[in-house]
Amino acid sequence: ASLIGEAERIFVHAGHLGSFLRCRGAADIEDEAAAAERAWLEVQFAAYETSEARLVAALGAAGLETFERLLEEPLLAGAEYQLRRWRVQARATMAPELEELAAELSSDGIKAWGRLYSQIAGRLSFTLELPGAELERVPIAQKRSRMEDPAPGVRRAVLKASNEAWAEIEQVPLASMNSIAGTRLTLDRRRGVGHFLEPALHEARITHATLDAMLGAIEERAELVRRYLRIKARLLSGDPQCVALGFQDLRAPLGLASSQRISWSEASADVVSAFAAVYPALGDFARMAIERSWVDSEARAGKGPGGFCTSSYLLKESRIFMTFSGTAGDVKTLAHELGHAFHNWVMRDVRALARTYGPALAETASTFAEAVYSHAAFERAVQSPTIQAEILATRLDAAASFLLDIPMRFRFEEAFYTERAEGQVSASRTRELLLAAQRASYGDALDPEQVDPCFWASKRHFHLSGRRFYNFSYAFGYLFSQGVYQRASQEGPSFLPRYEELLIRTGSGSAERVARESIGVDLTQPAFWLESLDIVAADLARFEAVIGELGL
């Protein structure tokens, strides 16, 4: 029990250093000192993982009576779920000396590929060429926000130029994906893992039955979201015969209301106000986080791509990294990441061994916060049908992302791992797998002449060395939070303490158990997922009614 407590203490301090160095490296991709220190920390952490491997093996080898006595130790109060997870994990491990070797090699192997990808992506830029404008060199980190530009020519140019930049160096992300997946598959085989999805499901803390129920419900209602995309194609093009979008238009604003850029101060105040109107505790937290400068939002050269929230169990604080360019999508990202930070804040007094929740429930608080912001904004716009139409379009864009884009990523990664098990996958074959996944998800709502064959190279999630299949968890979090938000709307403020209790429980049980004990639903059955999808159907019906009123 004392050894486990010491391992927990080391984990907390190493995690603190890791979060700090991650922020340093993301804030300035040229910070060589931070990169060197991060590599050094990974070597040190490999020694921790070596010790953890011995601990996991010992827990697995212990007799049931001994293990149950261990759980009764006062030093381990609240850590039961993690200890039982370790015991299950021990069934799929190699001999202790081989696990130690794998941990030692990881820093210069699989983790090195992840670092290389991040460094290359952080330095990559593309030349944006627009009629009547000077050539502009744009960091790849700004690709997403620039593809939300209201001008269709800008969106097409951004996708084309960014893909050309990735195509020039495609052998780097290709080597990254092949090496990371290949290492995992080799270790899976040596550990006796039956299928490459099993570790991802164990990490997400859900069962295959839950994944199948969720994906099955999404597939059953996929045409609902495609219908919205066909409407969006017609509205963006102005052509009643146009029923397919280009990939670059999936996140494009409809431009029904003002598309002026919003300042950081306006955006942050808007998010805080929306939170406070519905959920005062969330509003107070968001105000505190912004006032204490816990958010790095500045758009600047040399900044890493993407956005994230990272936390220190030692400080009991979070930091948010994002690039704010003044778009509606940026405001939504701020709300999303503040949701993550609030989740960590609510759990700040929970011991570390009961704070490490899986990626499925990790997206609950973030997408719940998005829903709070969106619905508050919608209510404020009651006198403006055009603004309401834009808000509904933003919500339906999110639905399209979670219910079509995320399953597309899952299909692609599953196909890639299946082929990688037979050997190296070529760049041309990787593009084929990606485009097949795009066609399967979007159907005829996506223009086959305007696809994104380099998505596999540009999406950082495919190159994470510490996590595989980081895609289905987003769909889970979206639909789960929709169901939670619906209950919050029906029950009012009395539900919020139950919601916070749900967040606190996320590190102490499987997703199925947390859902059953907190809100009384069975995630292994389609009923809950279909109920959450009914919310999307209602948004679509409202959207169609509003644009009908506007004569569009």
What is the distance between the alpha carbons of residues 90 and 93, in angstroms, rounded to a whole number? 5
pLDDT surpasses 90 at 431: yes
Q: What is the pLDDT of residues 524-542, one digit of tens each?
A: 999 999 999 999 999 999 9
What is the distance between the alpha carbons of residues 97 and 392, in angstroms, rounded to a whole number? 55
Among 201, 193, 179, residue whose Cα is nearest residue 94 = 193
Q: What is the pLDDT of residues 467-513, one digit of tens each?
A: 899 889 989 989 999 999 888 888 888 888 889 999 999 999 999 99
Q: Helix 328-346 crosses helix 496-505 at what angle (to 10 degrees)?
A: 70
**Which band of pLDDT confidence, cut at 50, 70 and 90, is reported for residue 3?**
very high
pLDDT value of position 375:
86
126: three-class secondary structure by DSSP: strand
Phi-psi region of 470 (alpha: psi -120 to 50; beta: other; left: phi over 0): beta
Provide the edge-to-edge strand list for the sheet that holds 295-296.
295-296, 317-321, 308-312
Q: Mean of the pLDDT values across residues 215-237? A: 95
Q: What is the pLDDT of residues 9-59, one digit of tens each?
A: 999 999 999 999 999 988 988 888 998 998 888 888 888 888 888 888 899
Lookup result for tokens 């550990």: 191
pLDDT value of position 150:
84
Q: Which helix H or strand E contains 332, and what residues bound it? A: helix 328-346
pLDDT surpasses 80 at 383: no
301: three-class secondary structure by DSSP: coil
Q: Tell me if 506 sits within 8 A of 357, measured CB to CB.
A: yes
Burial class (CB in 10 A: 0-12, 13-18, 19+), 36: exposed
- Residue 521's contacts (CB-CB under 8 Å, 6 or more residues apart) are 483, 515, 528
pLDDT value of position 259:
62
320: three-class secondary structure by DSSP: strand
Q: What is the pLDDT of residues 95-137, one digit of tens each?
A: 888 888 888 888 889 999 998 998 888 889 899 988 888 888 8
Strands 317-321 vs 308-312: parallel, antiparallel or unpaired: antiparallel
Q: What share of the chain in percent tops pLDDT 70?
A: 99
List, as one string, the DSSP characters of 468-520. S--SHHHHHHHHHHHHHHHHHHHHGGGGHHHHHHHHHHTTSS-HHHHHHHHH-
Which own/partner contact pairs does 47-54 have at CB distance under 8 Å and 24+ positions apart? 47/103, 47/104, 48/7, 48/10, 48/11, 48/14, 49/103, 49/106, 50/99, 50/100, 50/103, 50/104, 51/7, 52/7, 53/93, 53/96, 53/99, 53/100, 53/103, 54/96, 54/100
Q: Which helix H or strand E contains 26, and what residues bound it? A: helix 2-27
138: three-class secondary structure by DSSP: strand
- Helical spans, DSSP H, in 62-151: 64-71, 80-89, 96-106, 110-123, 143-146
Burial class (CB in 10 A: 0-12, 13-18, 19+), 477: buried
What is the distance between the alpha carbons of residues 326 and 313, in angstroms, rounded to a whole number? 31
This prediction's pTM: 0.84
pLDDT surpasses 80 at 415: yes
Side-chain-side CA neighbours of residue 61 (13 Å): 10
DSSP letter, residue 207: -
pLDDT surpasses 70 at 459: yes
pLDDT value of position 401:
93
What is the distance between the alpha carbons of residues 399 and 456, in angstroms, rounded to a whole number? 21
Look up residue 264 and give its two tokens: 């950081």
- Helical spans, DSSP H, in 192-251: 197-204, 208-220, 222-237
12-15-21-24 Cα dihedral, nearest 10 degrees: -90
pLDDT value of position 95:
86
**Which band of pLDDT confidence, cut at 50, 70 and 90, is reported for residue 143?**
confident
Look up residue 309 and give its two tokens: 């929230």
Question: 304 to each of 5, 42, 147, 329, 337, how far by Cα in Å?
Answer: 35, 20, 17, 18, 16
pLDDT value of position 262:
87
Q: What is the pLDDT of residues 255-292, one digit of tens each?
A: 776 667 889 999 999 999 999 988 999 999 999 999 99
pLDDT value of position 148:
82
Q: Mean of the pLDDT values across residues 445-466? A: 91
Q: What is the pLDDT of residues 81-97, one digit of tens each?
A: 999 999 988 888 888 88
pLDDT value of position 258:
63
Among 286, 408, 310, residue whose Cα is nearest residue 362 = 310
Q: Tell me if 137 sits within 8 A of 229, measured CB to CB.
A: no
What is the distance between the alpha carbons of residues 544 and 235, in angstroms, rounded to a whole number? 12
